[in-house]
Structure 1
Amino acid sequence: IAKLSRDYLPEDKIKMATEGSALADLINKIQMEYTSSDISITSFANVVSGLKKNLTTRDVLNTYRFPNTAIVLEIDGKTLREALEQNYTYIEYNGEYKIAKRFLEPKEEHYNFDFFYGINFELNLKKENGNKIGKIYFKEKEIKNEDKFSIVMNNYRATGAGGFDMYKNLKVLKSYDKEISEILLNYFRNL
């Protein structure tokens, strides 16, 4: 369906969670562009194939495996910080980084780690009790608790699933009927 400038493949889960993922960035960019949101988050199924340079429909469907739709919420800086802190309970550190046991047992839940796009933040995964997130920046300006933003995510995460209760009562700015996989396919078909 399209020719990309490069392959966008998943990497080691720890590496992606600590250093970021070009694959997640691409999906987030597309979601942001489609919804005109300030911030975007996406997550991966436990197993994803990635997007190859010679892109097929199957690549997209095997990478974005959820039948989710996009939803845009209004979020303030304080709630954004809570979400980031919750997100990074995924990684533990005791001499080395590893995935927290509760994301592996009784069942694997890698899909409950989100990749954030549109913000930068200081991250210290070696801290024991919370406060792994330092300063958060939007367009190089430090975010204050009361600052408001639009954030796009899937409708599953917006329900608070995966321990993200802070999203449940946020104001809905816009919701979309189209599945995110369809949004991605349309984007690639129009490249």
Structure 2
Amino acid sequence: MAVTDEQVINWIKSRRSIGNLTIPAPKPAQLQAAIECAMSAPDHKKLTPWRFSVVQGQARHAMGRALLEAAQAKAERDGEVLDERTQDKTLKMPLRAPMIITVTTRMRYHEKVPPFEQLLSAGAAVQNLILALQAQGYSSVWRTGPLANEPAVKRYFNVSAEDYICAFVYVGSSHCAMPTRNEIDISDYVSYLSE
């Protein structure tokens, strides 16, 4: 059955972030398809300036420990102490979904492709990933937060100092009703230049 342009546009506009996620997570073939879609993002000079790390199962606990280490280091720098509740919450952050796809940059020098363009390409890859997951029936939420690019988290994901963790894409299934979006008014966000 053919899908109309209007159906595709309305489907994209229906995308929502859903934070309460459970099993099942994408199967390996579904995950591969979603990452292939992510890698079709605009990529000037074909630098492939992004990488994907899939965290699931017990590895989510190790990610939680990296986040806690980062939170403790940040608190120490700020002259603060993490209370027990905050420590526990931080440790359990990765348990909010059965799978987390972490998207990081792997920037390369190119005289025609500045770093900001490579970072934007990584963002486009994240959006493609989220839409591809949605197309396969999964819900997701794009998270980062103040700990994402702390040294302990970068070490865990083997990200260099000059690169970025752009997204923790929490993915899984959701049985909650998808909220509807109000009509989108673009008038305050678009200008038209013509002669």
- For the pair shown, the structure with the greater C-alpha radius of gyration is 2
TM-score (norm 2): 0.25
Whichever structure has more strand as a proportion of its residues is 1
Whichever structure has more helix as a proportion of its residues is 2
TM-score (norm 1): 0.25
